[in-house]
A and B are shown apart, each in its own frame.
Chain A
Amino acid sequence: MIDPETAEQEDAALAAAPWPQRFLFARLQNAGEIFLLVGSALREMPAGVRKIGLVFEQMASIGLGSMPLTVIVALFTGAVAAVQAAYQMRDYVPMIYLGTVIGKSVVIELGPVLTALVVGGRVSAAIAAELGSMRVTEQIDAMETLGISPVRYLVVPRLVASVLMLPVLTIFADILAIFGGYLVAVLTLDVSGHTFTSGLKLYFKIQDVFSGLLKSVFFGGIIATMGCYYGLRTEGGAEAVGDSTTRAVVASCLLILIVDYLLASFLFRVLFA
């Protein structure tokens, strides 16, 4: 129990503190609340996944709904990778390595990360906006008073769907990005299809694909968690919903990049070293 007067004094002390202290305090508070949300989502997971209809609904909206975006992003990613790699390799590296470079960079990094960033923008914004408007119109409160846990009913299906669908989208992105690179190489860079595919097979390691998909599982978790967290903590009106949406997108993009670095360090310097 917090004593209102003590809390008031603490608030006043914090408001007077220099900004780095306030910033740090706010981020630590966010982190704590996010861990609590994830904790209760994990506890509600068994009951939540039994609402399989809700999970499928979210899988369709997160997975299928993000497919057109993923297709375009992946094709152009591969195409750009081919143009840039060919430019860097010209005069120094034989073109047989073009397929190797593209294949590796796509499955390890570009496929999972760009898919997560683009889908993350779309999905975490949609989740934050939906849950945020439910919060400000008291629908979340209404759900709780009906004895229904919003974590079980809203958070778990979104979290499960996002964790399941991000690897699926990443597989499509990997294939399409390599295909995009192949098209550019064959049509505009004077590299034969055979040269490209032989390069692709050279040094191909299945653990590269596995590492990319493992990352996408974490990214899926980040996207749904940020959307749900910022959506549920919305307070106020329409403006607050917009604010939550922005925060959710910014937080999920930043966390994706930070977690990408941490996982890359772990996977390639510890696990596969």
Chain B
Amino acid sequence: MPDNAIEFQGVWKRLGTKVVLRGVDLSVSRGECLVVIGRSGSGKSVLLKHVVGLLQPDRGTVRVNGIDVSKLDEGELLALREEMGMLFQAGALFDSMLVGENVGLALREHTPLPERQIEEVVAEKLALVGLAGTEGQRPSSLSGGMKKRAALARALAMNPKIMLYDEPTTGLDPITADVINRLIRRLQERLGMTSIAVTHDMKSAYHIADRIAMLHEGRIHAIGTPDEIQATRDPILRQFIEGSSDGPLLPT
């Protein structure tokens, strides 16, 4: 297997009339947690969706475990996705199902496990994210943070080797955000997952990242370890990580 679990090569993507990605080159090694930072609308989520094949590049390639995602047929793509988990911005729990059914869905669809074992896994994953005993609740009755945690349990149900987090801490109170950050870090260290997290929460980025990359104007503007990023002299990166409205980046 190649060393890089995920590899972007010259990826261009246009959505509607806007060219969002303009030649992204990026690689994530096995077991690494890469955090992609960037302003709202800079294409961070678009980048993530290429990894699971929800979007196809207009130009360039996206490889997962050395396989070009855009060359896979529907069946192969579904099989590849079973090894990946993705946490969506607002959770994206299926609101026609109970929390427990949400978490157990992939297991029921893809594994021959008996019902009792599935229930055990569901309970275990919910406990992992601090939501033990919520199996029977409707997603609509959960708070924003609980939804996100339940969605994380769902993404972890199949023990994925690659995890993608789309703004894991946005909209959470600082304490819940810290719980999620620690959880992401723990999954990283214990299970050796490869992950990409997209965020503009710098505190979270420093906490979970092995490396941080900044997406700016459709390209990777800078990449480095959290220490390197914090010590940067690049004015754009500097302004972003300090969260200042004075500098080369203009308020939108």
A contacts, CB < 8 Å to B: 1-4, 7-8, 11, 134, 137-139, 141-149
Contact = CB atoms under 8 A, between A and B. Distances in A.
Interface stretch (B81-89, B117-125, B175-183, B239-247): B81-89
Q: Which 9 A/B pairs are nearest by Cβ-Cβ distance?
A: A142-B92, A138-B92, A147-B81, A147-B82, A145-B86, A146-B106, A147-B78, A138-B88, A4-B14
Contacts of A138: 88-90, 92
A137 B90 contact: yes
B154 interface: yes
A241 to B, nearest CB: 14
A147 B106 contact: yes
B79 interface: yes
B81 A145 contact: yes
A143 B94 contact: yes
Interface SS, B side: mixed
Contacts of A139: 92-95
B29 to A, nearest CB: 22
A149 B94 contact: no
Contacts of B106: 146-148
A71 B135 CA distance: 40
A257 B158 CA distance: 48
17 contacts: A1-B57, A1-B59, A3-B58, A3-B59, A4-B12, A138-B92, A139-B93, A141-B54, A142-B86, A142-B94, A144-B54, A145-B52, A146-B105, A146-B158, A147-B79, A147-B82, A149-B78
A129 to B, nearest CB: 13
B49 interface: yes
A145 B86 CA distance: 7
Contacts of B90: 137-138
Interface SS, A side: helix
B89 A148 contact: no
A2 B84 CA distance: 27
A4 to B, nearest CB: 5
Interface residues of B, number: 34
Nearest to A2: B58
A148 B105 contact: yes
Contacts of B58: 1-4, 7
Nearest to A138: B92
A146 B92 contact: no
Contacts of A137: 90, 92
Contacts of A7: 14, 58
A142 B157 CA distance: 13
Contacts of B105: 146, 148
B110 interface: yes
A41 to B, nearest CB: 13
A142 B166 CA distance: 12
Interface of B: 12-14, 17, 19, 49, 52, 54, 57-59, 74, 78-79, 81-82, 84-86, 88-90, 92-95, 105-106, 109-110, 151, 154-155, 158
A144 B92 contact: no
B58 to A, nearest CB: 5
A2 B86 CA distance: 27
B7 to A, nearest CB: 18
Contacts of B88: 138, 141-142
Nearest to A140: B92
A144 B52 contact: yes
Contacts of A144: 52, 54, 81
A17 B109 CA distance: 48
A136 to B, nearest CB: 10
A1 B14 CA distance: 12
Contacts of B49: 141
A8 B154 contact: no
A7 B18 CA distance: 11
Contacts of A4: 12-14, 19, 58-59
Contacts of A149: 74, 78
B92 to A, nearest CB: 4
Contacts of B89: 138
Contacts of A147: 78-79, 81-82, 106, 109-110
Contacts of A2: 58
B244 to A, nearest CB: 30
Contacts of A8: 14, 17, 19
Given A3-B58, A4-B59, A141-B54, A148 B109 contact: yes
Contacts of B19: 4, 8
A238 B191 CA distance: 39
A143 B52 CA distance: 12
